[in-house]
């Protein structure tokens, strides 16, 4: 899953990066490669060695707890971060979206164990705090680091409050 597939089978990432580079050479476009499921600086450096074009940005899909906890060190190597909120929420809560919505969300809402579906509204005290901590640590190392968010939270402006 994620970067582990590319590390285990490097020909996959090499083929993908070569195809991206070839396509970029035929059009004038800004290209960024976002690497999923990163947990170490070494993984990101491993991927970056295959990217020969210095204009291609290589960043991280911040979707593991470990990546968030290592955000300062990862920021030194990454060109950008994008928080993958669905997988990060799964990692923090230790349950899948499918389990929540199909098996126990209704009961948890009725009993007040959860106040809302954590995959629809950010859990400020858990996922939100982890994201905030990661951004703080990353910006200490690289103030101008581009940081984005992807996943279901993006369409919910209430998380910005």
Q: Give the pLDDT of residue 161.
A: 39
Q: How confident is the model at residue 128 (pLDDT cuts 50, 70, 90)?
A: very high
d(CA 55, CA 22): 13
25 burial via Cβ count (<10 Å: 0-12, 13-18, 19+): exposed
Q: Give the pLDDT of residue 56.
A: 94
Query: What confidence tens digit (pLDDT) does each residue in 77-100 have?
Result: 999 999 999 999 999 999 988 988
d(CA 36, CA 159): 23
Instruction: Identify the residue whose tokens are 């899909």.
Output: 61
Structural domains present in the chain: 3-151 (3.20.20.60)
Query: What confidence tens digit (pLDDT) does each residue in 26-66 have?
Result: 888 899 999 999 999 999 999 999 999 999 999 999 999 99
Q: Give the pLDDT of residue 81.
A: 98
- Helix extents (H) in 9-101: 10-26, 41-48, 65-69, 71-75, 85-93, 97-99
d(CA 15, CA 20): 9
Tell me the whole-structure pTM to 2 decimals. 0.89
Query: What confidence tens digit (pLDDT) does each residue in 131-154 have?
Result: 999 999 999 999 999 999 987 766
């Amino acid at each position: 899953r994620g970067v582990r597939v590319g590390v285990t089978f490097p020909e996959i990432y090499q083929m993908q990066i070569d195809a991206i580079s070839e396509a970029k050479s035929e059009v004038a476009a800004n290209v960024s490669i976002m690497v999923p499921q990163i947990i170490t600086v070494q993984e990101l450096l491993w991927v970056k060695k295959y990217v020969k074009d210095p204009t291609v940005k290589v960043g991280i899909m911040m979707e593991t707890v470990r990546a968030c906890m290592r955000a300062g060190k990862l920021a030194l190597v990454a060109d950008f971060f994008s928080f993958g909120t669905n997988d990060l929420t799964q990692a923090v809560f230790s349950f899948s979206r499918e389990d929540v919505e199909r098996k126990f969300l209704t009961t948890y809402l009725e009993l007040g164990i959860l106040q809302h579906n954590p995959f629809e509204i950010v859990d400020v005290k858990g996922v939100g705090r982890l994201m905030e901590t990661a951004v703080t640590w990353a910006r200490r190392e690289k103030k101008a680091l581009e940081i984005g968010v992807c996943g279901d939270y993006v369409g919910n402006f209430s998380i910005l409050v």
